[in-house]
Amino acid sequence: MENAIRISNLVKKYGTVVAVENLSLEVQRGTMFGFLGPNGSGKSTTIGCMTGLLDPTAGAIEILGERFTTESAGLKRRMGVMPETLGLFEPLYAHEFLLFIGRMFGLDEATTRKRVSELLAALELTDTSKMLSEYSTGMRKRVAFAAAVIHSPEVLFLDEPFESIDPAGVSLMKQWLRRFTDQGRTVFITSHVLETVERLCEKVAIVTRPGKLVWEGDITVLARVGAIEYDGKQFDALEALFLHLTGERYTDLNWL
Amino acid sequence: MNLELIGELVKLRYKLMWAKTRTRNGKIALFFAGYILLIMVIVILAAGGLGAGIVAVRSGKGYRMAAAILGGFFLQAILATVLLGFGMGAIFSEGEMRRYPLVERERVLVRHLIGILDPFWFLILALELGLALGMYFFGAGSFWLGLIAVLLLFVTNYLFARVLGQLVERLVSKKGGSTILLGLIMCLGLLPSAIQPQLKKNSQAFRPVVEVLRYSPPAGAAQAMTHVDSEAAVGLSILLGWIVGLGAVLVILEKRPIRVRVAQSTKLSWESPFERMGAFLGPENAILVGQWLRFYSRNNRFRMLYPLALPICAFLVILFPKQAPENSRYLASLGAFTIVGFMGTVQFAVNQFGYVGGGFRRYLLLPTNPAAVLRTGSYTFLMLGSVLIPAATLILLLFPPVPLDWHTVVLFVGCAVTAMFVMNGIALWVTLLAPRKGNYDASFGNDLSFAANVVVMGGMFALLFGPRAIAGVWPHAVGPDDWWKVFPLILIAIFFYFASLRKAETMFVVRREALLAMMEGRG
């Protein structure tokens, strides 16, 4: 199957600090791909490089078979991104923000308006008297999600999409994401909620500091076989494997 | 009262200032240089105040002179804080302060202690202290009474600025508030020129006003400074009265937070004039220009400063003495007209992304060359500035400050266009090289970097007084006879702007990571 994302020897340094170290990944089209790692392991930096926010120090990125650079405006139109920091314009109303995004991504006026109305209704963002700055964190996440999908992208990058969203919202988003991949589109997702990743994703990559790939594989085996084998050990859950790879820590604070 | 914790928080404000300089060694040097400079300015101002005190005593009108000088300091401090935002920044918001184990009155005290300990207020204090010392050295008053009067006046001035700031903020946050404010400022600006002829005709008519002014804070301080008897106590009690009154008003205002504007209707509005305005700059820029216009049209600070540009420029001309020689009036008018094209937007143009916050990341994710964001932002400021030039021209034609012919009008307009392009060109560089994260919601406070302040203030003063300076050296250079010289200047300015834009677009792509880190509070 054709690759939706291909990263070759990606390196990102901030001065002498290495954020991503020689990372290579391939994500096939139509896959729900989980990208996991502890805090500060370079997940958001990797997504930043893949979406044009950051310039890689070395390495190459291909999205949908094309070399991705900062200038790849055409390619960006085929991608949807929900950044970790959401990137909202606080003094706008939700519909104004989504209209702006729809127009920028080349949707015609009628389609933009129709999709904005539908997204606002589906995501229960119907309180039109509030600006984005007045929304709760969960509501803001929903707006950012709507902005990522409004133009029906072929590849969707979601950085911690489910945090702060209520269970009903998460359920709706998961349903949409599954339909998304069923249509042959690709989802690249980072999350700390390992149970969700385990249930939602087919493939997972785990990175550790500094942005170093330590494991990549098919996690559907957990449902099929009941365990993932690694390093001669059996792991019955993604969490167990994750902790093994990234290092379990336990420090006792006797005053706590 | 938890004085220890209050002290820690005040210290934290200075530690945070210091921490900002840690990122680069050069900045540390700049920090020291800045503070040495500040101390020097304080010394100079104190000497100035001292000189004014000496003049006041020698003139034999100690009280009246002192009241007038202190009144001038008082008003200038208010103008600098309310209009330019100096000394009005809130380092810790009420929400942030609630994290600490402080009761409400302690939180209020910390916020205002941090506010009044801003370096800007030290400058005002230095001027006033200098005056008090001058009075004391020449035997017009007591040292201690003078010192107490200055300190009380200093607190009154701060409280007055805060209360006025709160009232203005409330006004501009309401629909039509900016227009009302504009009207009030225009009335206030016209007042001196309206009063002057009446004053000449019948000075006694204004006696009741003068009597009322005796109870103003500067008059109270002057009274305490120039007397050693019960009159001094009256002066101090006037100041104390003001402090209690203003403090109470401030507490009431702060307890009633400004209501956030809500949409007039819950129906979605799809049509907006912003994109239509943006369309004037071509379809490739329309959406982004529309977005910039919408973004700034909702900013209280912008809504206050942009409409003020025109009346301020007009007042700079109106307030110029009528009896001054015609050439001086001409040069003053030319200087004021020159700044009209950028005065309302320059504060934002030099820090284009400073108020966007997390939205900056979104700009970089859009399917367009990232530099388009910088370009459209700059075009927006040019468009907004250029709207004011024809409006100012109309005012110039309706109320000519000097005899006008079409050569003079062309020269005035040409100078305004030239200045607009040059300043917006410089603003592009400042936006990229000296940005600073600002607070979009604050109506007051000076969020600009040092370099941006130098460009804004330096640019305005250079252009305001530039014609007079040039005329001193080369009298015909700015005269209407050589009006045609403005055309090559316009061309050079336009070339400078577009050359800057081209270079800045390239630089923006390179610097976007640093800008992103700064706008998200990581840089």
Q: What φ, ψ does residue A7 adopt, rounded to 5°?
A: -115, 130
The answer to whether residue A40 neighbours chain B at the CB level (below 8 Å) is: no
Residue B329, pLDDT score: 84
What is the greatest pairwise CA distance in chain A?
A: 63
Nearest chain A alpha carbon to B373: A104
Q: What is the pLDDT of residues B89-129, one digit of tens each?
A: 666 777 777 877 888 888 888 888 888 887 778 888 888 88
Q: Which helix (H) or strand (E) holds B133?
A: helix B119-137
Chain B residues lying within 8 Å of A83, measured CB to CB: 361-362, 365
Token pair listed for B335 = 């200087």
Q: Which residues contact residue B271 at a Cβ distance below 8 angstroms, ignoring those fewer than 6 apart?
A: none
CB-closest option in A90, A100, A104 to B440 = A90
Tokens in use for B315?
């007042």
Q: How far is A122 from chain B (nearest CA, A)?
A: 16
Interior/surface letters B402-440, b for 16+ CB within 10 angstroms, e for the rest = beeeeebbebbbbbbbbbbbbbbbbbbbbbbebbbbbbb
Across the interface, do B367 and A96 touch by the CB < 8 Å criterion? no
Task: pLDDT band for B69, please (50, 70, 90 cuts).
Answer: confident
Q: What are the backbone angles phi and psi of residue B257, rounded to the nearest 5°?
A: -65, 155
Its pTM stands at: 0.80
* CB-based contacts of A108, cutoff 8 Å, min separation 6: none
A190 backbone dihedrals φ, ψ, rounded to 5°: -115, 140
Q: What is the distance in angstroms between the Cα of B381 and the nearest Cα belonging to chain A? A: 19
From A86, A113, A134, residue closest to B260, measured CB to CB? A134
Q: With 70 as the cut, is the pLDDT of residue B417 above it? A: yes
Closest residue in chain B to residue A117, using alpha carbons only? B268
Q: Are B430 and B510 in contact (CB under 8 A)?
A: no
How confident is the model over B314-371, as pLDDT tens digits? 877 776 666 667 788 888 889 999 999 999 999 999 999 999 988 999 999 999 988 9
At B430, list the tokens: 């400042």
**Is the Cβ pair B266, A53 closer than 8 Å?**
no
Residue in B287, B365, B370 nearest the CB of A87: B365
- Mean pLDDT on B499-511: 94
The strand pairing partners of A234, in sequence order, are: A229
Chain A partners within 8 Å of B369 (Cβ): 71, 73
Six-digit token pair at B211?
């009597």
Grouping H, G, I as helix, E, B as strand and the rest as coil, residue B186 is helix
Contacts A86 to B, Cβ<8 Å = 358
Q: Give me the pLDDT at residue B422, please.
A: 96
Within 10 angstroms of residue A249's Cβ, the number of other Cβ atoms is 7
Amino acid at A202: E
Helices (H), B174-229: 177-201, 207-213, 217-226
How is residue A131 annotated by DSSP? Answer: B
Asked if A92's CB is within 8 angstroms of B294's CB, the reply is yes
Q: How far is A229 from chain B (nearest CA, A)?
A: 39
| Amino acid B193: pLDDT | 67
Segments in chain A below pLDDT 70:
1, 248-250
Nearest to B358 among A86, A99, A104 (CB): A86
pLDDT of residue B33: 58
Share of chain B above pLDDT 70, in %: 86
> Which of A96, A104, A113 is nearest residue B294 as measured by Cβ atoms?
A96
In chain B, which residue's Cα lies nearest the Cα of A157? Answer: B365
Q: Is A52 on the interface with B (CB under 8 A)?
A: yes
Q: Answer for the pair B444, B90: CB distance below 8 angstroms, yes or no.
A: no
* Cβ neighbours of A95 in B, within 8 Å: 268, 270
Residue B303 CA neighbour count, 13 Å, CB half: 24
Q: Does residue B183 surpass a pLDDT of 60?
A: yes
How many interface pairs between A and B have CB atoms less than 8 angstroms apart?
94
Q: Do B287 and A73 touch (CB under 8 A)?
A: no
How confident is residue B491, by pLDDT bands cut at 50, 70 and 90? Answer: very high
CA closest to A99 among chain B residues: B270
Contacting residues of A for B298, CB less than 8 Å apart: 91-92
DSSP state of B483: G
Q: Cβ of A32 under 8 Å from any chain B Cβ?
A: no
Domain ranges of chain B: 3-255, 273-519
Residue of B nearest to A153 (CA): B367
In 3D, which of B163, B153, B14 has the Cα closest to residue B81? B163
Q: Residue B111 and residue B118: Cα distance in Å, rounded? A: 11
Which chain A residue has its CA at the smallest distance from B369's CA?
A71
Q: What is the mean pLDDT of residues B189-215?
A: 75
ipTM exceeding 0.85, yes/no: yes
A13 contact B CB<8A: no
Q: Do A89 and B266 touch (CB under 8 A)?
A: no
Per-residue confidence (pLDDT) for residue B114, from 0 to 100: 83
* Mutation target vs B (from A68, A75, A90, A157; most B CBs, 10 A cutoff): A90
Report the gap between the CA of B319 and the closest CA in chain A (Å): 38
- Determine the Cα–Cα distance for residues B352 and B506; give it in Å rounded to an integer: 16
- d(Cα B518, Cα A122) in Å, to the nearest integer? 35
Residue pair B140/B59 in contact (Cβ under 8 Å)? The answer is no
Minimum Cα–Cα distance from B353: chain A residue: A89
> B440 and A91: CB-CB below 8 Å?
yes
Q: Does A85 touch chain B (CB under 8 A)?
A: yes
SS3 A13: strand
A89, A117, A140: best to mutate for the B interface, most B CBs within 10 A: A89
Q: Rounded to an integer, what distance in angstroms lies between the CA atom of residue B87 and that of residue A224? A: 66
Chain B positions touching A99 (Cβ under 8 A) are: 270
Contacts of B516 in chain A (CB under 8 A): 53
Q: pLDDT tens digits for B246-299?
A: 999 998 988 887 765 555 555 667 778 888 888 888 888 999 999 999 999 888
Which residue on chain B is closest to A131 by alpha carbon? B262
Query: Considering chain B, what is the average pLDDT of its residues?
Result: 83
The H or E element containing residue A233 is strand A233-235
* A133 contacts in chain B (CB < 8 Å): 441
B266 interaction partners in chain A (CB closer than 8 Å) = 128-129
Least confident segment among B46-55, B211-220, B236-245, B434-443: B46-55
Apex B435 CA angle, B433 and B439, nearest 5: 175
3-state secondary structure of A93: strand
- Structure token pair of residue B72: 């001038």
- pLDDT for the residue numbered B267: 64
pLDDT at residue B323, rounded to an integer: 66
Contact A73 B369 (CB under 8 A): yes
Q: Kindly determine whether residue B263 and residue A85, on different chains, have CB atoms separated by under 8 Å.
A: no
Q: Give the amino acid at B12.
A: L
Q: What pLDDT is stored for residue A247 in this prediction? A: 77
pLDDT per residue as tens digits for the range B118-169: 777 888 888 888 888 877 877 777 888 889 999 999 999 999 998 988 888 8
Q: What separation, in Å, do the N-terminal and C-terminal C-alpha atoms of chain B show?
A: 36
Predicted local distance difference test score (pLDDT) of residue B91 = 62
Helix axes B119-137, B217-226, angle to 10 degrees: 40
A69 touches chain B (CB under 8 A): no
How does pLDDT run across A143-169, given as a tens digit for each residue? 999 999 999 999 999 999 988 888 888
Q: Greatest CA separation found in chain B?
A: 75
Alpha helices in chain A (DSSP H): 43-51, 73-76, 94-104, 109-122, 137-149, 167-182, 194-200, 220-224, 238-246
Q: Which two tokens stand for residue B310?
A: 């025109």
Q: Which of A130-139, B11-20, B427-436 has the lowest mean pLDDT?
A: B11-20
As a whole number of angstroms, the distance between CA B74 and CA B12 comes to 29
Lowest mean pLDDT among A68-82, A152-166, B53-67, B448-462: B53-67
Length reported for chain B: 523
Q: In the prediction, which pLDDT does B420 show? A: 96
CA distance A46 to A30: 20
In chain A, residues with a C-beta closer than 8 Å to the C-beta of B352 are none
CB A34 within 8 A of CB A204: yes
Q: Are β-strands A155-159 and A233-235 bridged in parallel, bridged antiparallel, or unpaired?
A: unpaired
Name the residue of chain A whose CA is nearest to B371's CA: A71
